[in-house]
Structure 1
Amino acid sequence: MTGERAAELEELGIVWDTADAGFEQNLGAARAYYELHGTLAAPRGAAIMDVQVGQWLTNIRRPRGLGKDPVRAERRAAALAAIDPDWNPAVLGWTVDWQRHYAYLAQLLADGARPAAVVPGVTRHGEDVGRWLAAQRRNWDRLNAEQQHRLGELGVKKAPRAGKAAAKTTTASGPCAGGEAFQKGLRALQQYVARTGSATVPRSHVETVDIDGKDHAVRLGVWLSNTKTRRDKLDREQHAAFTELGIHWAR
């Protein structure tokens, strides 16, 4: 059959390979999912355009999931990579869940959020990116070199060692000494800035924050005002934390 006749039949809806036709349909759904979420690291239950795209992506990431024919598999992998180069994070050494949260963190920062403001409770597409980020900083040494590099490019750093924090708490003096009350206030301020996009806090405002699974009501406006009057007692790291959140008097 000539190429011209084949093209005419294709225009009439003839499908030569039903497997490829099914792949193309699912690929279209994957493209739509990426346009909405900015990543193909979809959870298994994700669906779009009446396609269970999350399960489909899970299946094709498995060995020989793109088919037994190596040429066809390579062509399909290239089509997926054209949508999202990190569509199969297992080859990079991490999970789909890690990739999805990383992508959402990058999006939050691209939208103007500061890393310090992405605290537990800050979400994107229903995922608690803040809680995930705190875990990455806390477990930094468990990440591979590429994960550390990618997070570092976003401005994320390893969490300070608990020993140093404890020592600072015991040696510092005054109500701004970096102890539990200060950390609670800072967490509340970070959450407030992430939610409102403003570092201006009314004096009467009370912010409720989740710390270790418990809600704490912080009189944020009063705390911030009191901290301002004692700003000469802040150490360098505390000044930096305030400055990063847009508190100009801390510079």
Structure 2
Amino acid sequence: MGHRRFRLRQEPRGRARLLRGESGTLAAPRHTTALDKPVGQWLTNIRRPGGLGKDPVRAERRAAQLAAVDPLGTPSALGWTVDWHRHYVGLAALLDEGALLTGIVPGVTWCGDGIGRWLLRQQRDFGRLNPEQQKRLSELGVKPAVQARTASAASGANWAGRGAEAFTRGLAALAQYVEREQRTVVPRQHNEQVTVDGQDHDVRLGVWVSNQKMRRDRLSEEQLGQLAGLGIDWA
């Protein structure tokens, strides 16, 4: 019977190893399963205060066992959330697979997480991140977002606020088009169906690209960089 209890205690770590092998991290959402078992809930439980047990010696041993599976399995000890770490791992994985940083735009996902949208937030809020987060992102080539190029761009601030979501959709549609067609010339009458954050959109892509070119002096350096990263020469 004692042997059976030992096996049951070992099974969660086995599922954790499987999860680590599949996704590269134990920074899993609560609903995550492995071998049809709720490994995400188990990880959530053991990360809580006292989750590794009240006996300090046993808790330290269990923490070492968890670290052996994933040294960064408890990111809260490093000063950031499990959610942040999971997206960071996803960004690194996409880059390792050959993706370009400028091509990781809203709509790009990894293991169901919206990495493109998350990346934009990190660039925008770079100064609010702690030094270690900034260091890790910098090592991946991530830089803080640059504000609008000139003071005259302030006249277009209202447009920027209203058009931010439209730009995000257009950029995602353009990235999808370029990847599929392997070209950047978009016929003016072309419409592109794209899914952004789980919602389907019908983007008048040809018109959108033409509009961005006409108002390029009102685009931020970040927006121009994203367009240039997709091969738009005028950006």
The answer as to 2:100 corresponding to 1:95 is: no
Decide which of 169, 172, 193 is 2:153's aligned counterpart.
169
Q: For residues 78 and 50 of structure 1, do their structure 2 counterparts lie closer, same or farther at Cα, with a shift above 3 Å needed?
A: same
| Separation of aligned partners in 2, 1:85 and 1:29 | 16
Q: For residues 143 and 39 of structure 1, do their structure 2 counterparts lie closer, same or farther at Cα, with a shift above 3 Å needed?
A: same
Match of 1:142? Answer: 128
- By how many angstroms is 1:17 displaced? 8.4
| Separation of aligned partners in 1, 2:176 and 2:94 | 10
* Structure 1 unaligned spans of 5+: 1-13, 173-177
Match of 1:126? Answer: 112
- By how many angstroms is 1:61 displaced? 1.0
Equivalenced residue count is: 227
Larger radius of gyration: 1
Decide which of 197, 219, 222 is 2:179's aligned counterpart.
197
Question: Which structure has more RCO (C-alpha within 8 Å, separation ≥ 6)?
Answer: 2
Tell me the percent identity. 48
Decide which of 219, 227, 230 is 1:245's aligned counterpart.
230
| Separation of aligned partners in 2, 1:17 and 1:181 | 60
Match of 2:26? Answer: 40
| Separation of aligned partners in 2, 1:194 and 1:70 | 52
- By how many angstroms is 1:36 displaced? 1.7
SS at structure 2 position matched to 1:104:
helix
SS at structure 2 position matched to 1:160:
coil
SS at structure 2 position matched to 1:42:
coil
Q: For residues 239 and 141 of structure 1, do their structure 2 counterparts lie closer, same or farther at Cα, with a shift above 3 Å needed?
A: closer
**What's the CA shift string for 1:89-131, capped at 9, x where partnerless?**
1101111111111111111121222222222221122211222
Match of 1:188? Answer: 170
| Separation of aligned partners in 1, 2:122 and 2:107 | 15
| Separation of aligned partners in 2, 1:119 and 1:236 | 15
Please tell me the root mean square deviation across aligned C-alpha atoms, in Å.
3.9
Match of 1:207? Answer: 192
AA in 2 matched with 1:115: L
Match of 2:67? Answer: 81
Q: Is the 8 A contact 1:189 1:220 kept in 2?
A: no
* Structure 2 unaligned spans of 5+: none
SS at structure 1 position matched to 2:87:
helix
| Separation of aligned partners in 1, 2:139 and 2:126 | 14
Q: Is the 8 A contact 1:185 1:220 kept in 2?
A: no
Q: For residues 25 and 220 of structure 1, do their structure 2 counterparts lie closer, same or farther at Cα, with a shift above 3 Å needed?
A: same
TM-score (norm 2): 0.74
The answer as to 2:145 corresponding to 1:159 is: yes
SS at structure 1 position matched to 2:89:
helix
TM-score (norm 1): 0.70
Match of 1:53? Answer: 39
